Amino acid sequence: MDAFFVSVERIYQPNLIGKPVVIHGNHNFAVKLKGVVAAASYEARKHGVFSGMPLYLAYQKCPHAIFQEGHFLRYQKHSALVYTFLSKYLPVLEQASIDEFYFDLTGCEKLYSNLFSFVTKLKIFINQSLHLPCSIGMGTNKHIAKLASKFAKPNRLMFVEPGTEKDFLAPYSIKYIQGIGKKTHDLLVKYGIFTIGQLSMQSESVLVRLLGKSGYDLLAKAKGLGEINFLTQGPRKSISKEVTFLVDIEDVEYLKKQIAKLLEQICFDLRKENLKAGVLTIKIRYIDFTTKTMQQKIAVSNFENEIYLCAFKLFDKLYKRGVSLRLIGVRLSNLQEETPLQLFLDNSKQEALYQAIDKLKFRFDSKIISTMSFS
């Protein structure tokens, strides 16, 4: 989706159309320019304003912009509308984030004849009916499709024909390859590797010596290869949920409450699928977009009250106190199906309690019924 938060705000405030707009989460913006840019319109980006930039700097670069406090519930609502529409026409759909989706059209040639024409119609519908501009990239794997959508922005469609992936990538900077951060970028540049084309011509032995095992993956991506698997295909390997904050958050109690809510939702989903998890991962993202994760093995379970304390301890080890966060996430992995024997052994008071709670969640809104003991 193109400048998604801004695009949603323009649905509610048409006067913002065509103007430089900066979305932020600072309730006291008029008092102090604290916080970071959550999203910037393309009109604001022309002045050098981008997501993650400190608000005071964004104001210096574009003081005439409209600085708008964001409404995250609105963004969730319109993200769900996009997902609902796409799911009607696409056999395999994966939501990567609130404003990014992958879909697989393999085998749909007979159903939709010309796939490029079909995707063009999808794009037109999203633009005209949902009033949201978007850019779409088409390619033989997720890596190529993602980059094509990036280079298609704003509001265009780019198709990388099979067999042309390497030529398509060659002229672009190595910074566009997912997995190349600043440290890796600077190291490669030091050795005279500036473009993806130059990277693709390196030998595996050279890159592995420079970068370790990640050298294999980066070389494959430079040659146009990439992941084709989707989260919706095959047995589920993990389940995760995360929440992005528009307001800078450093309140530990509040952050742990969000972890508990996410964990409760995940465990409910696991129980619906008769799955249990054996590994817990906590993810945090600071306001400078630095992302940290930490995982730990846990006793196999799908009961949140058995996982809460472990999650909080993991968070305490991971989080640097006094530094604001913009995102927090929870993932449960190493999933395994409950066997009939496990179901029999778990038939305790706790099992009976969760069965009763889940019945209420199915009958009413699952978010209304909570097992958390704090408000």
Average pLDDT value for residue range 212-231: 83
What number is the average pLDDT over the span 190-214? 92
pLDDT bracket for residue 28 (50, 70, 90): low
- 6 token code pair: 């801004």
The span from the CA of 239 to the CA of 247, in Å, is: 26
Per-residue pLDDT of 306-318, as tens digits, reads 899 999 999 999 9
pLDDT for 293 = 92
> Which residues make Cβ contacts (< 8 Å) with residue 127, sequence separation at least 6?
133, 134, 155
Q: In the numeric block, which tokens belong to residue 348? A: 């305790």
pLDDT at 343: 41
Least confident piece of the model among 74-78, 203-207, 235-239, 343-347: 343-347
Q: Which of 100, 242, 306, 351 is catalytic?
A: 100
Whether the pLDDT of residue 42 is over 90: the answer is yes
Comparing C-alpha atoms, which of 11, 6, 39 is closest to residue 130? 11
| Interval 334-356 mean pLDDT | 57
- Please, what sign has the CA dihedral across residues 81, 86, 91, 93? negative
C-alpha to C-alpha distance for 103 and 138, rounded to whole angstroms: 10
Mean pLDDT (whole number) for 241-261:
88
Q: Tell me the average pLDDT across 118-135.
A: 95
Q: What is the DSSP letter of 56?
A: H
Asked whether the whole model's pTM tops 0.85, one would answer: no
Tokens representing 105 are 């059209």
Does 100 qualify as catalytic in the annotation?
yes
Same fold for the pair 166-222 and 238-363? no
* Average confidence score pLDDT of the chain: 85
Joined tokens for residue 187: 């190291």
Radius of gyration of the chain (CA): 23
Q: Which residue has the higher pLDDT, 2 or 26?
A: 2
Q: Looking at residues 101-113, what average pLDDT do you find?
A: 86
- Looking at 1.25.40.10, 3.90.1150.10, 1.10.150.20, 3.10.580.10, the CATH number of the domain 166-222 comes to 1.10.150.20
Domain boundaries, the chain: 4-70, 166-222, 238-363
DSSP state of 173: B
Q: Report CA dihedral (122, 124, 128, 130) to the nearest 10 degrees.
A: 30
Average pLDDT over residues 262-272: 88
- pLDDT for residue 229: 66
Q: How confident is the model at residue 200 (pLDDT cuts 50, 70, 90)?
A: very high
Sorted by sequence, the CB contacts under 8 Å of residue 120 that are 6+ apart come out as: 157
CATH node for 4-70: 3.40.1170.60
C-alpha to C-alpha distance for 204 and 206, rounded to whole angstroms: 5
Which has the minimum average pLDDT: 88-102, 295-309, 336-350?
336-350
In 3-state terms the chain splits into helix, strand, coil percentages (rounded to 5) of 45, 20, 35
pLDDT for residue 211 is more than 60: yes
Mean pLDDT of 261-272: 88
Q: Among the CATH numbers 3.30.1490.100, 3.60.15.10, 3.10.310.30, 3.20.20.70, which is that of 238-363?
A: 3.30.1490.100
